[in-house]
Structure 1
């Protein structure tokens, strides 16, 4: 794709965004229903082209160029297509995120100020190998009234192209939906073109490594909402229910290891380590988990039949996205908090304990977008949070944090309703005062 072609697509999205912002929720939701139906009806073609992507990826896996985690994220099957369809239908049925009055205030008699939710405008996204991410992002953009530029990885090119065509054509069944609201770019070079179009794109949402997100941030003037690695921790506290902890820590690693909310480091307080670790290591070994541990963990497991490698300093900061886990014994709750804050990626952390007081100390002391008590890190997900879906998980703090759903794709606008009011009335010696009184009201 030439630079001119990329620019034309972005400019078309910008034009469409102005119209889409004024399409009512009934039409946007109808378009989502049409998209869900179309994906369901064309599932065989989607799975056929996905097979092409997976076959090519498996060849590169054999050559050592791809990881198993990437191949796993790439694969679609009937169950995944069912979940994609369900996700789009769920979004269609959610409340309209637009037009909500967030705040209303009387400034004076017949002078009322309203803060109202509106779309951001044009959102540019770059995402990894999961084809379902394309559908999630496009569907969230449509429901929230935003135009979207989609750039997926080359490893999913056939799947992305097929899903994009289905989405675009299905949405056009609804007359009110403007053409051009969704655009697909495929060339790697197109990313740099997009980064330079700050007058046309309102927000960039890259999903990938910290290095890639940093590259985007360093090479654009467009605001960036970054989704980076998930170096997530589970901490087994001295007051944990150890049977429950076995199940939660197992789920956090094994249930689906190829995603950013899977646990990468297990921390165990010293006082329960000798009782907890042998049983936990057995469970992980049965599941094929490679364990990398500190000296104290290896000493405890030395007489067991499990194989545990020596952890390096790099392991404490690594997102494996695979059946690999680092394990460390810590002296105290405070040591666990310090380890997480030093090595985590501010994604998702969990403490397993029966002490509400200790849980609260961990949850308030850890700097992360999501912090859980007695729950698997795998719950960090837009769908599970009831957001319908997510465009990504923001590990930053502005303007959205954690799973970014519909609300994270909106901003606001102020509307002032007056009756010939003039600023001069409220200035000078005889200036009238403002009332600044909040009230319940809709614009």
Structure 2
């Protein structure tokens, strides 16, 4: 890597570290004022932001990126309005910093309090979606953290325009602009520098495809808050009601197929009425969804066999991020659980069932961050959970799991008050 680029990266990280000390001392009203101003600035700068986004979209179209990719990349006036609205909602959320988690007094009179504090400096590595630039910066600021952002080259113009608006808003409200940094150098080694900046970066959050996440995990010497890919399943139990099953599955698959909480696999109980299975598969095909089905499914529906692509082993482990769905027929609830245990990514799994006991068995047995009964997997989202903006969806089990809202970007410290005690 060019020495000048390396020095610039470390300069930006060090500036973020310095700014984090000021952020940690801010009052809630100061942070909320900044969030509100960011929302206002995004609307004021909308024309410039959309023009920058158009550059990215044109390049992506020239590179023949798929429709789902373009959807993730695209900004519209409505999406910018949504970002501004989410910033206002985030400002209304309770500030977790300084919250007392627990307190107790020891027999020797020592008062011990555990309180929430910021993590410090967050490194964020992400792909395609420019909305993540705003969400990540906002949730970091709300929790008193500085953030160093590294987006993908495909969204470079959009990200730089958004960061420019964010930093203008920080300056207008008296907060340090250096609290939000964007690493724009094209060299991929920049990610490695970020992931090994021990003592400057407190945690790395990768958000994107499996290759990106694995690279960060393998390279990082800084703690990683791992977000995961979403090979999400919808299991239709033999007790499922048809209209509910159809509505849930269509929503989970088609409302926004290019996101991690979209369904990628459908499991059908063999005893769910055959006609209902046929109707559901036909409905999916009519919605333009490519179905990659197991041999049992194809054999049970010979009238659809020429429209059902034979599933390959890799299909059960693929996050399609588009209008493709793997379809399997299982003999029992236990078989569905076994299939999910082999192929699920610990993100979001759903059962559609009228039998409460069978549903409870599924909810208890599935090992995933979010498990649903009679609801779409698309609800795995910080906003839908009432957290305000989210910084990602964690599929790990330490510190944070599921949609990561404000408390996920805090740690704690113990404050011990005495009256002269010695040990």
TM more than 0.5: yes
**Aligned residue for 2:394?**
394
State whether structure 2 residue 172 is matched by structure 1 residue 180.
Answer: no
- 1:109 deviation in Å? 6.0
Structure 2 unmatched runs, 5+: none
Say which one has the larger Rg: 1
Cα distance in structure 2, aligned partners of 1:60 and 1:276:
41
Cα distance in structure 1, aligned partners of 2:286 and 2:72:
23
State whether structure 2 residue 270 is matched by structure 1 residue 278.
Answer: no
Classify the secondary structure of the residue corresponding to 1:125.
strand
Residues 35 and 171 in structure 1, CA contact (< 8 A), matched pair in contact too? yes
- 1:301 deviation in Å? 2.6
**Aligned residue for 2:302?**
302
Using structure 2 for the length normalisation, give the TM-score: 0.97
**Aligned residue for 1:230?**
230
Cα distance in structure 2, aligned partners of 1:153 and 1:45:
19
Structure 1 unmatched runs, 5+: 424-443
1:130-145 to structure 2, matched below 5 A, reads 130-145=129-144
Classify the secondary structure of the residue corresponding to 1:233.
strand
State whether structure 2 residue 78 is matched by structure 1 residue 79.
Answer: yes
Aligned residues: 418
1:359-438 to structure 2, matched below 5 A, reads 359-423=359-423
Residues 198 and 220 in structure 1, CA contact (< 8 A), matched pair in contact too? no
**Aligned residue for 1:219?**
219
Write out the 4+ residue segments of structure 1 that deviate beyond 6 Å after TM superposition: none
**Aligned residue for 2:194?**
194
Most deviating of 149-158 and 301-310? 301-310
Let me know the Cα RMSD of the aligned residues.
1.3
**Aligned residue for 1:427?**
none
State whether structure 2 residue 5 is matched by structure 1 residue 7.
Answer: no
Residues 122 and 147 in structure 2, CA contact (< 8 A), matched pair in contact too? yes
Classify the secondary structure of the residue corresponding to 2:178.
coil
Residues 298 and 305 in structure 2, CA contact (< 8 A), matched pair in contact too? no
Cα distance in structure 2, aligned partners of 1:84 and 1:34:
12
Deviations 1:188-245 (A, max 9, x none): 2211111221111110001123332222122221111112210000000011112210
**Aligned residue for 1:335?**
335
Using structure 1 for the length normalisation, give the TM-score: 0.92
- 1:304 deviation in Å? 3.7
State whether structure 2 residue 16 is matched by structure 1 residue 17.
Answer: no
Give the 3 Å change call, closer, same or farther, for CA 298–273 of structure 1 in structure 2: farther
Classify the secondary structure of the residue corresponding to 2:272.
helix
Deviations 1:131-183 (A, max 9, x none): 101100000000011000101111111100000000011111112x2231110
